[in-house]
C-alpha cells in the first residue's frame, strides 16, 4: 500500500513539517516520489521511520541517524557496523539513564528529608544541634531503607 505524507504523519502522530525536515536532512532516502514529485511512502518505510523516531527520542544528532539509515540501505555488508553503532548508542543511553537515576535518587532523598522536617514542624530537627549539617543518622536511615530493598520512590511514600 502507498501512503501520502499526510497519511504517514497522521499514522505516526508527527507533523508533515517533521517528515519534510527529515527528508531535507537526508533521513528519508528510501522514500519514492510520484510523477508530480510528491513523496510516496510504502509499508516497508515504516520500519525506517520507527527507527528514526526512536533515535530522535534518544537524542541522537540527525547526522548520526542519517548515517545509520545509509548503513541500513547498504545491505548486509554493513551489519557489523550497524550492530556496533547500536551497541555504542545503548551504552551512551545507559550512562545517561544512570546519571538521571542518581539525580532522581538525590531528589527523592531530599524529598524524604523535607518530609521529616514537615513532620517535625522545623528543618532544625534534621540538623546536628547548633549547625546546619544534616544529622548523619537521618541519611543512614534513608540508606538503610534502600539497603532493605525499598527503592527511593517507595521510601518517599513511607510515613514515620
pLDDT tens string 48-106: 999 999 999 999 999 999 999 999 999 999 999 999 999 999 999 999 999 999 999 89
Three-state DSSP class for residue 27: coil
State which H helix or E strand residue 2 sits in: strand 2-3
pLDDT reading at 44 higher than 70:
yes
Rounded CA-CA distance 52/25 in Å is 12
Kindly indicate the confidence band of residue 157, based on its pLDDT and cuts at 50, 70 and 90: low
Q: What DSSP line would sit under 38-99, residue for residue?
A: -EEEETTHHHHHHHHHHHHHTT--HHHHHHHHHHHHT-GGGHHHHHHHHHHHHHHHHHHHHH
pLDDT of res. 5 = 97
54: CATH: 1.10.1660.10
Across the beta sheet with 32-33, the strand order is 2-3, 39-42, 32-33
If asked whether residues 62 and 119 sit together in one domain, one would say no
Count up the domains in the chain and report the number.
2
pLDDT of res. 152 = 66
What is the span of the domain harbouring residue 128?
93-155
If asked whether residues 57 and 102 sit together in one domain, one would say no
125 Cα distance to chain centroid: 38
In a domain, 15, yes or no: yes
Report the predicted TM-score, pTM, of the whole model to 2 decimal places.
0.74
Amino acid at each position: 500500500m502507498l501512503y501520502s505524507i499526510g497519511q504517514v504523519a497522521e499514522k505516526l502522530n508527527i507533523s508533515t513539517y517533521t517528515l519534510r525536515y527529515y527528508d531535507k536532512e537526508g533521513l528519508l532516502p528510501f522514500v519514492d516520489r510520484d510523477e508530480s514529485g510528491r513523496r510516496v511512502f510504502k509499508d516497508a518505510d515504516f520500519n525506517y521511520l520507527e527507527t528514526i523516531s526512536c533515535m530522535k527520542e534518544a537524542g541522537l544528532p540527525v547526522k548520526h541517524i542519517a548515517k545509520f539509515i545509509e548503513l541500513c540501505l547498504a545491505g548486509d555488508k554493513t551489519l557489523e557496523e550497524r550492530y556496533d553503532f547500536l551497541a555504542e548508542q545503548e551504552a551512551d543511553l545507559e550512562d545517561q539513564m544512570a546519571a538521571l537515576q542518581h539525580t532522581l535518587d538525590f531528589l527523592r532523598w531530599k524529598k524524604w528529608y523535607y518530609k521529616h522536617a514537615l513532620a517535625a514542624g522545623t528543618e532544625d530537627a534534621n540538623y546536628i544541634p547548633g549547625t546546619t549539617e544534616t544529622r548523619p543518622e537521618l541519611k543512614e536511615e534513608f540508606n538503610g531503607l534502600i539497603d532493605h530493598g525499598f527503592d527511593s520512590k517507595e521510601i518517599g511514600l513511607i510515613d514515620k
